[in-house]
Amino acid sequence: MSERRITRRQVLAGASGLALAAPLAVWGRRLPAGPVAAKVWIGRAESYQADLERLIRRGLAEFPELAIRGKRVLLKPNMVEHIAELPINTATEVVVGAAQAFLAEGAAEVTVAEGPGHRRDLDEIFTVIGLRGALRERRIRFVDLNHDDWTRVKNAGGRTGLESFCLPDTLLGADLVVSMPKLKTHHWAGVTLSMKNLFGVLPGAVYGWPKNILHWRGIEASIFDLTGTVCPHFAIVDGIVGMEGNGPIQGEAVAAGAIVMGAHVRSVDATCARVMSLVPERVRHLAEAQERFGPIEAERILQVGESVAAVRRPFRVLPGFSSLVDEG
């Protein structure tokens, strides 16, 4: 069995290689008193040919509390399927830009990791979308979380009824876990953003393809529990070209030209919903998510960088989600 480094997070949680570790600690952040409780940054990029490393560094500068220097960073993009012309996956340019940005900010290492829920064979997508070559050129490690070693961690959420989750050791060994979704609608959840993106951390070698237990226990409950257990530190959302309609795979492209970032993933997702001209309070998993991941009320989110209005686009939703649309 490979040795697994004990991370700072695990020390906080008091989990020293026990078979059933304690829940990962909340990453030491206390929401400030007063009406503004989270900061979300929006950057504008007209295309994937923009200098995304520079743009993302500009955004990271708004969050000095990340204290990136010396940290092991895990970037978790959304990689599902490759269908030409459809904006399904977090763009390779955004992933590479983020990796380079964190390295430039002094990260000790950056790992890109994902565990797609439908396709077992990541090799095909990985190569076709160019991520394999791009990461190899820059000597950035990629880990297929579906087949990683894992540790059983107590479910800190409590809504699915699952006692624990098997979480990949690569994830547990990171100091900073960054959820990097695509800005998309979702035909079961309404939207799929940084919290829903966490479905992809669970190893398929345990849960299968798809990770059907999460659907049986309820998508909203699973998002709640996974977010509460994984406690992602940061989110970077690829909204340069997002997806509307029958997301997360069969929808159509919408060029929002935005990168949305923040340390409170619920607030990031709420801002993303507003960018999509949707009402976050009406997205069930956003409304029900824990407050410690940030508020969703606009007046409690400090919007820095570009305004929501500058990048807002109407995203078409399926008829069953028409109530999410902001008619204002």
HSE toward the beta carbon, residue 25, CA cutoff 13 A? 14
Looking up tokens 């399904």 gives 88
Residues in a beta bridge with 262: 40, 235
> Residue 151 or residue 197: which is nearer to other proteins going by CB?
151
Q: Can you name the residues that pair with 253 across neighbouring β-strands? A: 243
Q: Please state the closest distance from residue 171 (CB atom) to other proteins, in A.
A: 13
Shortest distance in whole angstroms from residue 170 CB to other proteins: 9
CB nearer to other proteins: pick between 185 and 271: 185
Nearest approach, Cβ of 127 to other proteins (angstroms)?
A: 5
Footprint of other proteins (CB under 8 A): 1-2, 19, 81, 83, 118-124, 127-128, 142-144, 146-150, 152, 187, 204-213, 216, 246, 250, 318
Nearest approach, Cβ of 225 to other proteins (angstroms)? 16
Side-chain-side CA neighbours of 95 within 13 Å: the count stands at 31
Of the CA atoms within 13 Å of residue 236, those in its CB half-sphere come to: 32
Contact 162, 33 (CB under 8 A): no
Closest to other proteins by CB, 149 or 326: 149
Q: Which is nearer to other proteins, 203 or 280 (CB)?
A: 203
What DSSP element (H or E) covers 43? strand 38-44
Kindly state the smallest distance separating residue 208's Cβ from other proteins, in Å: 2
Cα of 283 vs its chain's centroid, Å: 17
Minimum distance from CB of 201 to other proteins (Å)? 14
Q: How far is the CB of 144 from other proteins (least distance, A)?
A: 4
**Nearer CB in complex with other proteins: 80/268:** 80
- Comparing CB distances to other proteins, the nearer of 119 and 313 is 119
Pairing of strands 176-180, 182-186: unpaired
Whose tokens are 């991370």? That residue is: 7
- Which residue bears the tokens 């801002």? 271
Identify which of residues 63 and 142 has a Cβ nearer to other proteins in the complex: 142
Bond prior to 210 in cis (omega within 30° of 0): yes
The encoded tokens of residue 129 equal: 């979308």
Residues in the chain: 328
